[in-house]
Amino acid sequence: MKSADIRESFLSFFESKGAKRLPSSSLVPDDPSLLLTSAGMVQFKPVFLGARDIGVTRATTCQKCARTTDIDIIGTTGRHHSFFEMLGNFSFGDYFKSEACAWAYEYSTDVLGMDPDRLWFSIYEDDDEAEAVWRDEVGVPQDRIVRMGAKDNFWSAGPTGPCGPCSELYYDQGPEVGCGLDTCAPGCDCDRFVEYWNLVFMQYDRQDDGTLEPLPKKNIDTGMGLERVAAIMQGVHTNFETDDLRVLVAVGEGLSGVSLGAAEKTDVSLRILADHARAVAFLIADGVLPSNEGRGYVLRRLLRRAIRHGRLLGVDDAFMVQLIDTVIGRWGTPYPELVDNAELIRGIVASEEERFSATLRQGLAFLTEAMERAHVGGETVLDGTEAFTLHDTYGFPYELTSEIAAESGLEVDHEAFEAAMEAQRERGRAAVKDESWSFGSAFDEMARTAGATEFLGYGADEAESTVVGIVVGGTSVERIEAGQEGEVVLAATPFYAEQGGQVGDTGVLSADDTRFAVSDTRFAVPGLVAHVGILEAGGISVGDTVHAAIDVMRRERIRRNHTATHILHWALRRILGDHVRQSGSLVAPERLRFDFTHFEAISAEQLHRIEEMANHKIMENHQVLNYETSLATAREMGVTALFGEKYGEIVRVLEVGNFSKELCGGTHVAWSSEIGLLKIVSEGSVGANLRRIEAVTSFDALAYTDRVEAELGEAASVLKVGRFDVAERAGALVKRVKDLENAAQRAKSHLSGFDPASLAEGALDAGYPVVIAQVPDITAAEMRGVWDVVRTRLGDSAAAVIASKDPESGAPLLLAAGTPGAVEAGFDAGSLIKAIAPRIKGGGGGRREMAQAGGKDASGIEAALSEARSALGVG
Ligand code: SER
């Protein structure tokens, strides 16, 4: 039997027993006390606890599961995984042990056709009832029933919560497969007895203090590992040789040229590649992105471990995407989220692989330095905290660090490393645990008795409705009085409760003299809408009828922003590509914020095109349709589901024209032109591969452009130009400031120590004082400045012949200048320059008072000055 056939046969077998086939829930659980969905029962936890009714008492699922506890041994065994599929059947206060056992036996022997002589059954040490069921009702031989302790046969989802004794089914692969020891029996660590199905008799709720409270009803939770059963059915001894996983292993073989079975060490790496690639693809498809904490860290660790094992197998180029493509191809049919998010999964994996390849190199440099320090200090041990930094900052697996250290004769201080790791794990645990669900709140009770709140707000802004509950200070009360803050629950309401990024409505609940101001609306528990606010006047009692009216103007703005968000999402995908996925949003009255996956910065030009495209769609005035349909129909229509989001069977679709179709429960405009105008006000990075755009629409967009215009107007008046010349003038001014700064800088560096005034001291006597000198490199204009200084020192009758080199080009420059007094006494700057300029291969001239020349040959400067000395008779 192929894996796909086993999956289908299990689900239809339990359907034939009256169970409803339900979809797998996301790997990201709806339960803040859990990091990842680790079992089929996770989505049913509130049902077991009696806090939620899902309308059926029997269910069957094939659940995507991820477990982190086994990561270190994955690959060293043939049957542990970071990701696996769990087939399960569940009873919520309906059938119990007799049926659970009988059906597990029936499915194993009749449907799968397992040889009954190979089956073994473990039970909890004091569960006589389970033993009686197996022996007397199912008819299995007494000697195949083994009793085990709490470690093996008492199952719980976590330290607290639903739990109970369990019974497991084992398949004996035969003595040739196992360890061969006499003591080998179910529960042995070897591969002989495969534990393939766990039947949990869920009847307790473990409290914080460890005590077991009986649950309101007795339940069944069973979990059968699809990969393990496939291995049994396909007669192979490891899960990695079953049909689907074998294909994935083969990709690793192709990449590395190493075959499965060649050596234990390479087998481990090949298995890790297959296992981790599958987990990575499924995690990203459910909305997990690589990060340094929580589930993002699990994802990153798996990716890096796989990449490193690729390197160990000799694969030096990027290879993960090839494995990922195989996962999408093999599992895409039962799990369409892989196909829907294919571009994104590939993009994330490729970018992480590229990043890690870079840190691998940097990490090696860091390690080399750390090892050198240790050697210089005469150490034989490498500090464990260095290994931790390598692990934490460079993503270096500990084993890699210790391997390389060993090559250079150093041992890593493992204890210090572990201590640092433990401290980090503590931080991780604290982060995951800080909020915890409380079942049994005042609202739970209300949800049970009153049922879900009916939402009228798609069509109405106001309505009359009955008060079904009031909560003040966390307790359910019959009446709320003026001045009290509280939460009011109605049978039906036009108020939208915060969800999907759209903020909750505000407004008023009123009756005669009563007025309750609603400042927010939220889901107190799933399905139950609470109006949060303060009773300003009068009083409200449970059972009263009130008039509920939302703040219509505010909702209008929210509607525009919400529809605009969908159009923006569409435009982003058009311009940037299909890997763009919404990963979070905020739809408030005054603005919208949209977070999405993208792997690089967005250029100004792209941003402009995105905004332009969105506005085109807005102004084309498309009709906006918002309606309910089944999830299956929506999928067929190609509706975009929100990345990482969970949906029920009936979903709401939002269609804008014929270009955007998304699942969305929010409130929207009827025609796109109501949005008026969309202006993007900011764009930037908010994490690895995540970007954020903020935008405003309609009147807020107008207000935004008004502000921009006012700023521009002010800038224009300061610069004294027209509005559309601001950039040019500002550019010119900036350039001028730069030039001046450069000149000042040059003056500082070239003229340091040069005081033009000191030139005067070296003046010669030509009947009037004359300075003839070369000065540090300055421009022609600066030379005139030097002359200005010199003449103030020398009085009415003075002259100068100054040479310099242009600081930029190095070309020689000459300046001759004289006061009117000197000119009267015969000084002629123009003819002097004409006479000496040829010495610097140049030419020039001017008036009798002032003349300048530039030349090509700076080596002639001295000759030019000496000729000037002779000409003036001072040589
Ligand atoms: N919850 C149990 C397990 O995970 C049975 O499904 O083993």
Ligand 1 atom with the shortest distance to the CA of 86: 6
Task: Determine the distance separating the centroid of ligand 1 and the alpha carbon of 678, expressed in angstroms.
Answer: 50
Whether pLDDT at 183 is above 60: yes
On whether residue 431 sits in a domain, the answer given is no
Task: For ligand 1, atom 6, name the residue with the nearest CA.
Answer: 223
Ligand 1 atom with the shortest distance to the CA of 224: 6
On whether residue 684 sits in a domain, the answer given is yes
For residues 23 and 57, state if they share a domain.
yes
Q: Which of 24, 197, 222 to mutate to test the pocket of ligand 1 (most atoms within 8 A of CB)?
A: 222
For residues 572 and 518, state if they share a domain.
no
For residues 660 and 790, state if they share a domain.
no
Task: Determine the distance separating the centroid of ligand 1 and the alpha carbon of 240, expressed in angstroms.
Answer: 22
On whether residue 587 sits in a domain, the answer given is yes
State pLDDT tens for residues 321-377. Answer: 999 999 999 999 999 999 988 988 998 899 889 888 877 778 878 899 999 999 998
Planar angle of CA 739, 743, 746, nearest 5 degrees: 135
Residue 748 is predicted with a pLDDT of 66
**799-805 and 769-774 beta bridge pairing:** parallel
Domain total for the chain?
A: 4
On whether residue 305 sits in a domain, the answer given is no
Domain encompassing residue 512: 442-550
Task: For ligand 1, atom 3, name the residue with the nearest CA.
Answer: 223
Residues 871 and 833: their CA atoms lie apart, in Å, by 11
Ligand 1 atom with the shortest distance to the CA of 38: 4
Ligand 1 atom with the shortest distance to the CA of 155: 2
Ligand 1 atom with the shortest distance to the CA of 40: 6
Least confidently predicted of 92-96, 188-192, 625-629, 723-727: 188-192
Highest mean pLDDT among 148-152, 466-470, 633-637, 843-847: 466-470
Residue 649 is predicted with a pLDDT of 74
For residues 9 and 31, state if they share a domain.
yes
State pLDDT tens for residues 544-585. Answer: 999 999 999 999 999 999 999 999 999 999 999 988 988 889
| Residue where one domain finishes, among candidates 189, 222, 237 | 237
Ligand 1 atom with the shortest distance to the CA of 157: 1
Confidence of residue 52 (pLDDT cuts 50, 70, 90): confident
Residue 492 is predicted with a pLDDT of 94
Q: Read off the pTM.
A: 0.65
Residue 752 is predicted with a pLDDT of 63
DSSP secondary structure string, 187-221?
T-SSSSEEEEEEEEEEEEEE-TTS-EEEEEEEEEE
On whether residue 429 sits in a domain, the answer given is no
Nearest partner of 491 among 462, 465, 460, 456, judged by Cα = 465
Task: Determine the distance separating the centroid of ligand 1 and the alpha carbon of 40, expressed in angstroms.
Answer: 7
State pLDDT tens for residues 509-525. Answer: 999 999 999 999 999 88
The label of the residue with tokens 């999907």 reads: 500
User: For the residues 413-439, what does the mean pLDDT come to?
Assistant: 65
Residue 646 is predicted with a pLDDT of 61
For residues 492 and 472, state if they share a domain.
yes
For residues 576 and 536, state if they share a domain.
no
Percent pLDDT > 70 in the chain is 96
Nearest partner of 77 among 266, 268, 233, 261, judged by Cα = 268
List all residues whose CB is within 6 A of at least one atom of ligand 1. 39-41, 88, 155, 198, 200, 221-223
For residues 162 and 225, state if they share a domain.
yes
DSSP state at residue 262: S
The label of the residue with tokens 């393990």 reads: 228
For residues 485 and 583, state if they share a domain.
no
Task: For ligand 1, atom 2, name the residue with the nearest CA.
Answer: 223
Whether pLDDT at 723 is above 70: yes
Q: At what angle do helices 342-376 and 320-331 cross, to 10 degrees?
A: 140
Task: Determine the distance separating the centroid of ligand 1 and the alpha carbon of 39, expressed in angstroms.
Answer: 6
Residues 184 and 271: their CA atoms lie apart, in Å, by 26
What rounded mean pLDDT belongs to the chain?
Answer: 90
State pLDDT tens for residues 397-417. Answer: 776 788 779 878 999 999 999
Q: Which long-range contacts (CB under 8 A, 24 or more apart) does 416-422 make?
A: 416/383, 416/384, 416/385, 416/387, 416/388, 417/384, 417/385, 417/387, 417/388, 417/391, 418/384, 419/384, 420/384, 420/385, 420/388, 420/392, 421/388, 421/391
Confidence of residue 430 (pLDDT cuts 50, 70, 90): low
State pLDDT tens for residues 149-166. Answer: 988 899 987 778 889 999
State pLDDT tens for residues 683-710. Answer: 998 877 889 999 999 999 999 999 999 9
Task: For ligand 1, atom 4, name the residue with the nearest CA.
Answer: 39
Confidence of residue 838 (pLDDT cuts 50, 70, 90): very high
Percent pLDDT > 90 in the chain is 66
Tell me the chain's radius of gyration from C-alpha atoms.
Answer: 40
On whether residue 250 sits in a domain, the answer given is no
The DSSP element (H or E) to which 853 belongs, if any, is: strand 850-854
Residues 774 and 519: their CA atoms lie apart, in Å, by 81
The CATH number that applies at residue 685 is 3.30.980.10
DSSP secondary structure string, 130-164?
HHHIIIIII---GGGEEEE-HHHHEEESSSSEEEE
Q: At what angle do helices 384-393 and 398-407 cross, to 10 degrees?
A: 130
Whether pLDDT at 528 is above 70: yes
For residues 540 and 561, state if they share a domain.
no
Task: Determine the distance separating the centroid of ligand 1 and the alpha carbon of 221, expressed in angstroms.
Answer: 7
Task: Determine the distance separating the centroid of ligand 1 and the alpha carbon of 127, expressed in angstroms.
Answer: 18
On whether residue 835 sits in a domain, the answer given is yes
Residue 843 is predicted with a pLDDT of 86
Answer whether 287's CB lies under 8 Å from 26's CB. Answer: yes
On whether residue 409 sits in a domain, the answer given is no
Task: Determine the distance separating the centroid of ligand 1 and the alpha carbon of 225, expressed in angstroms.
Answer: 9
Confidence of residue 439 (pLDDT cuts 50, 70, 90): very low
Task: Determine the distance separating the centroid of ligand 1 and the alpha carbon of 164, expressed in angstroms.
Answer: 11
For residues 691 and 594, state if they share a domain.
yes
Residues 127 and 122: their CA atoms lie apart, in Å, by 10
For residues 599 and 698, state if they share a domain.
yes
Residue 178 is predicted with a pLDDT of 81
Whether pLDDT at 435 is above 70: no
For residues 230 and 91, state if they share a domain.
yes
The CATH number that applies at residue 846 is 3.10.310.40
